[in-house]
Copies of this chain bind each other. A is one copy, B any other.
């Protein structure tokens, strides 16, 4: 038992540091983006050396992939925790609200849209693809259901709705409002939701 608990303790510390690394990665990705984020940036932010960083993640691509997987998992967990009785449209609205809040606070990047290079890299990451497909399947179902009830426009092709929905989670208007308007985060979220769902004409 003493050996076991020691190992377990070491593993725990290891896991803890891994999380710290992913936190730092998420934040740096949010501010500098993939191409400008260096492995030294991440190592320095965590307070370890680069070779130690490579003990946890075998490459930059791997590291970024894991950070994004954690993000997707967060979205999946959020959906799972919602009241099952909630109408599909309300679930979609909550999820978008959650995504906007996470982004305004921690700086979630949602990179796939940003650069072809990053997108292609992620397409080669099977673990990432698996999670994305899982989340996408759930969201797709919600979209179709919300179109059936008429909460979402049934005349729009559902992939138009789906892709537009994803786009709103990384809408650059959020950053511009945060930087140039005097609104607080909650006001930004509410306005973004209103525009995303109801449009600009009202």
Contacts and interface: CB of A to CB of B under 8 A. Distances in A.
Interface residues on A, range: 35 or more
Interface string A100-136: 0000000000000111110000000000000000000
B31 A172 contact: no
A200 interface: yes
A71 interface: no
A195 interface: yes
Q: How many copies does the complex hold?
A: 2
A164 interface: yes
A197 interface: yes
A195 B161 CA distance: 8
B115 A114 contact: yes
20 contacts: A33-B115, A35-B35, A35-B115, A113-B172, A113-B175, A114-B115, A151-B201, A153-B200, A153-B202, A156-B194, A160-B173, A161-B200, A164-B171, A164-B195, A165-B200, A166-B172, A166-B173, A167-B173, A170-B172, A197-B199
A148 interface: no
A86 interface: no
A177 to B, nearest CB: 6
A36 interface: yes
Contacts of A39: none
B116 A32 contact: yes
Given A31-B116, A199-B199, A159 B180 contact: yes
Given A160-B181, A160-B192, A161-B195, 15 more contacts: A35-B35, A35-B36, A114-B114, A151-B201, A153-B201, A156-B194, A157-B183, A157-B191, A159-B181, A160-B173, A164-B195, A167-B171, A170-B172, A196-B200, A197-B200
